Structure 1
Amino acid sequence: MFIRIRQFLNQFFNKSRTINNEPLNKVSLIVIILIDIFILINVFTGLDDISRWHISPNQAYPCYAEWQDYLTQTNKDKDYEIIRRSLTHSINNQPSFQQTYQQVEAGHLGKVSETCLNYAADKDKIKNPENRQIIQTIDQKQTKVNNLDQTNRQIRSQYDSTLLEKIAGQPREQSINAVGAEKAKLELEQNQRNISILKKEISNLKTELITKPESVGFIAFLQDDDKFKTVKKGYQQSSFWYPSIQLAFQSLFLIPLIFIALLVNKFTQARRYGLISLISWHLLVIFFIPLILKIFEFLQIGVVFQFIFDIVSALFGGLLFLISYVYILIIPLVGFGIIKFMQKVVFNSQVQAANRIQKSRCIHCAKKIRPHDIYCPHCGTYQYIECPNCHNVTYKHLPYCKECGSPQNSTN
């Protein structure tokens, strides 16, 4: 295996820095690298764009997170808080919640959940001028409460200091506080009464808001378990399949590029178009890099990962670190399979030798030679090998002897 990996790497780097087996000069190599970087950036940009073509689970079920947060809250004011959030940012010219949800469908694949659209429609009913006015009034009264609380804290600090001065027998005219203890006490009591009145008014306004018909309908919608279960199930299924959909679209973007680059590389190698062959080879590598990275990324979050996760969970319970062991075993095997594929298809010495012999070219450097040349005059490579069966000379790397037709050792 290690010998094959070393051969693969040697062939890879040789193809990446030579034109017709002639090494590139440093300037040309720098230019090629800069082109590679530019194309790679654009490939990843294209992959990012196409991966967003299908709407995400959060876009398909935009109500799920807010709905789930509401159901898990234990705050007694949660009905008021969710209605308030629906009104806080509402502006006259702002699109409705339903329009906002549906906007993600434009130019994308996938549909927004019908239940979430109904959810948005109920939220839109709450967004009326009367309810916005109630929220503004609540905010104004709450601001007054906060100001009074701040004033009381300042008065208390002065009141405590005045009491200490009084206990110590210090004359009032020598006090560092502008307000006396009696006056401070009266002001504290008055402010506290005002705070109580304001808080009661705020409570009444909140009750008025959440008992409005549109608010009651919205809260009833939120408390419908069947509707939420439908959204939750759809969101979970969408989250499960979304990585696979993204990989499919990313593959759809990359595979035609890989196929075209491979065809151009094969064609230009056969025609001895060295520079185009080199560039097409670099393009082929550049297109393969993100594909391999996306496949590994998918293996960490996609259907395969979920399948392994479910098996490990069922067999070993909480020992989920065993998933790492599974990947440590699988990934090298996948890498070995890729290398074998590259050796058999891209770097197949028998296929290359057959093409070169048919065109009277050196089996090593692919330069033109005469049919009776035993050694290549360009690189000095011996073109033949002795047949182990008839002991006549036959072509290297071809599967059968040209004299007796017996199978040849494929490693020669």
Structure 2
Amino acid sequence: MKIAPIRPVPFRDKVDPDKAGLVMTEIRHAYEADKPVVDGVTLTVGPGEFLCLLGPSGCGKTTTLRIAAGLEAPTEGEVRVAGLKVADPRTFVPPERRNVGFLFQDYALFPHLTVEENVAFGLEGMSRKKKQERARDVLSQVGMSDYMQVYPHTLSGGQQQRVGLARALAPAPKLMLLDEPFSGLDRRLRDQVRDETLHVLKETGVATVMVTHDPEEAMFMADSIALMNGGRIVQMGTPVELYCYPKTAFAARFFGEVNEFRWTVRGGALDTPLGTLDAGTLADGAKAAVMVRPEALKLTAIEDGSSPSVVGRVLASRMLGRSSLVHLSVDVPGGGAGLHLHARVPGRYLPPPDERLEVGFDDSLVFVYPADEAY
């Protein structure tokens, strides 16, 4: 299978809407009156851009994808695909006329057709020879040339996924829509197949939207991520922006484990057991929710004669493969129970219980929010 380099794409707010693969403007949709499942979603996906709709179950991400596909009609708002209006309250273009490719969890391959016949099935306006040529081209693109004459039931899950991708790409769509297409694969195969899928989609230059509930998968695949909750996009940006600069406590938690504790603002700062943090716009006396990513904690041995400002006592340490997780208790000024924190350290790092370590932190991975908004 030919692997194409992944090239950056223009950021979404610089995309000409008339040339974008998908533009959704103030989309709303409700299955029951006064209970919107999609509430004011606006997004743009440029040519060659890969956008992930990310969020917990029931947040509206799949309904948003179905509206883009033409499987649901929006209650309000407008949808454009490749510059053409396909939906608003008075307009509705059916899915088969939107020039959109689909790849869902169920690849829905026809069991009585060969791999080549499955890929050629949806091609219209071509001679039989042209259909065959196009099917063989896209099967070659996804590394399935050697399986053209076999039937789907003889293929592995990863191979079926590649055939499904080839079938979706065969009509040369302007927009590709993926609904958790890797969720049925085991972990090792999933990593391999999604990597191959990403390279193929980038090589074609097609605008792509994928739904996932897995933040790691979204960061792996996406140029940009729309994090959804309660039917709304709560933050949109690059993977780095959402992981390193979460605007809300929800966003910080959703992108991975955080150590959380409350602290009170004094003199415009938070004098926490880890050190002094900027309180931002929080007023004196306000309660703050402090969130610290485990990889922000830096652990070092205490040298003889030194007096580190922050000391943690090891409670336990566990090897997790590519990293180690160390449970710590950090003393709290004034006594009382220690602050229980998790530190994630690259590679093998297994200090024994009760060892005392100096604790530092990377303040770029420490986030402060108003406590009443975080809990």
Q: TM-score range by the shorter chain?
A: under 0.3
TM-score by length of 2: 0.21
Rg larger for: 1
TM-score by length of 1: 0.20
More helix by share: 1
More strand by share: 2
